[in-house]
Amino acid sequence: MGPVGAVRCLSMSDDDAGRLVHAAAKGDQAAWEALVDRYARLVYTVARGFRLDDADVADVSQATWLRLVENLDKLRDPGSVGAWLATTARREALALLRNRWEVPLPELTRSELMDESQPEPWQRLVAEETDAELWHAYRRLSIRCQELLRLLVFEPVGSYAIAAAALSVPIGSLGPSRARCLATLRTLLNQPAPQRRI
């Protein structure tokens, strides 16, 4: 069940949610607290679905609620505030993760340079180039494919149900979508690499 379905389970009608949004936009503290009470678990669950640690989940939650404060009076459909919060939490979690994808390579220590169990420099170079080609091709995929492959292949979230909820897609579409995204990635990897100037 995607985030919209999860919102409907909270026993609040769209009209009730819409009224709370309008009241909170006018400064009604009780309405704001009611919104937070109703949807805090949804925001937490979406953020946690990305396998973030507690501090990152708190950051994503805080950023999501801040976005709601900034947009309370701009929501097209105030009654669908739950779906809006789920989508925003997903985007905030992805933004947080995207900022971490660029991981610097660690510097080699003297003992690692002398350690014969370490791969030869040429082996390390080939592995690094292969990794670089993979990530270059990955970044050329659509954002949707990047998100899907991250959740199902590179940093598995544990179940298709969690991935489907995080991506707001039916669970049955994940397998075929994954196959299409992997095929596209394979095609991109098989294309000749652009010439680099030294």
- Predicted pLDDT of residue 10: 45
- Predicted pLDDT of residue 85: 94
CA pair distance 87, 117, nearest whole angstrom: 47
Architecture of domain 110-190: Orthogonal Bundle (1.10)
pLDDT along the chain (198 residues), means of 10: 41 78 93 94 92 93 96 90 92 87 57 58 67 84 89 79 86 91 90 59
- Predicted pLDDT of residue 9: 40
The structural domains of the chain, with segments of one domain joined by +, span: 3-98, 110-190
* pTM exceeds 0.75, yes or no: no
Q: What count of residues does the chain have? A: 198
3-98 fold: Rna Polymerase Sigma Factor; Chain: A (1.10.1740)
- Predicted pLDDT of residue 100: 75
Q: Which residue has the tokens 């009241």?
A: 23
Hey, do 3-98 and 110-190 end up sharing a CATH topology, with the first three levels equal?
no
- Predicted pLDDT of residue 181: 92
